[in-house]
Amino acid sequence: MKLTDKIYIAGHRGMVGGAIKRKLISLGYQNLLLRTSAELDLRNQQAVNEFFAAEKPDYVFLAAAKVGGIHANNTYRADFLYDNLVIAANIIHAAYVNQVTKLMFLGSSCIYPRMAPQPITESSLLTGPLEATNEPYAIAKIAGIKLCEAYRQQYGCNFISVMPTNLYGIGDNYHPENSHVLPALIRRFHEARTNRQPSVTVWGTGTPKREFLFADDLADACVYLMHHYDGEELVNIGTGEDLSIRELAETVKEVVNYEGDIIFDSSKPDGTPRKLMDVSKLHALGWQHSMDLRTGIHMAYSDFVKKQFSMINAI
C-alpha cells in the first residue's frame, strides 16, 4: 500500500473509521477517499456501484456499519441485520467488479458462539449458537466474512477479514440507550458526578468478563495487516486481556472521580458470560497493542468532556 494509492475508508466518521483515517494521515497517506452517509448511502447498490466505477479505489477499509450495545442490538434487530448485510454485500461486490487491489472487512467478536471456549480462536466461527441479544448483527458480520472468502475462492480477490474485540476511544458513541458498555459507563458516571447522584446503576450482575481495545490501537493493527497479511482465514484483533464488568465499572468510576455507589441491576441481561479473544495469530504476525486500559479510558473520557463542552457552547 503505497503513499500515493487511492484508499477508500467506508465509515470514516465513525470511531473505527476515524481512527484508521488518523493513522493513515499520520503515516503520510494523502489520497484518501471519504464520503459521509449523506453523500453516499452504502445501502444503495446503484450509488455504491457508481461511486466505485467513478473513483476506482486501490484499497478499501470496510469499517462502515450500524452498531450499538445490547439494548440497540436487541431492539432494532431487523435494522441491524438488513443494514449491515447490504452494506457488506454492496461494497464487497463493487470492490470485485472494479478490481480493488485489497479490501479489509472489519467484523466483531460477537460473531463467535455464545459459549465458545475461552480465549476464542478464529476456528471457533460457526461452531455453536450465537448470543441471542446480538444475533442479527452477528449474522450480518458472518455473511461479510463469508463473502470475502467466497470472492477470494471464486475470483481470486485479495479480501481479508479482521475481528476486533470490544472497542472504545476517540469519537465513541455515548447515546444513553444505544451505546456500548464502556462509553455508557463513562456517561453515567460523569452525569452522576455532575448531578451529585448518590449511586449509578449498571446493567447485569457485574460478573461477565470483557476485553477492551483502544480504537487507535485497532487502526494501527489494521494498517499493519494491510501490509503484512493476505490469508483467507480471519484474524482476531485484541489485547488478550479481560476484566469483569464490575472491575470495569470501578475503573471508570475512579477515572471520572465519582464518589457514590455502584448498584448492579441483575434483572437486566448480562449478555455473553465471557468474551476474550485469542490473539496468538496476531502476535505471531508481529503486532501487539500498546495502550493500557486505564490510560485509554482517561483519553476517552477527555474526548467525551470536550464533546459535552462543544454541545453546551453550540446551544
Q: How far is CA 184 from CA 66, 217, 244, in A?
A: 17, 21, 16
Name the nearest CA neighbour of 271 among 166, 131, 135, 168.
Answer: 131
Secondary structure (3-state) at 53: helix
Annotated binding site for substrate: 188, 203, 210, 270
Active site residue 112: no
Q: Say how far apart CA 140 and CA 311 lie, in whole Å.
A: 34
- CA angle (149, 151, 153) in 5-degree steps: 65
Q: Which residue in 8, 96, 112, 137 is the catalytic one?
A: 137
Classify burial at 256, counting beta carbons within 10 Å of its beta carbon; exposed 0-12, middle 13-18, buried 19 or more: buried
Annotated binding site: 11-17, 106-109, 141, 164-167, 180, 188, 203, 210, 270
Nine-digit cell string for 153: 475462492
CA angle 149, 274, 11 (to 5 degrees): 45
72 Cβ contact partners less than 8 Å away, ≥ 6 residues apart: 80, 175, 177, 178, 179
C-alpha cell read off for 146? 463469508
| 240 φ/ψ sector (left φ>0, alpha ψ -120 to 50, else beta) | left
Residues sharing a CB contact under 8 Å with residue 276, sequence separation 6 or more, in sequence order = 118, 119, 120, 165, 209, 211, 238, 240, 241, 242
Cα(152)–Cα(160) distance, integer angstroms: 9
Catalytic residue set: 137
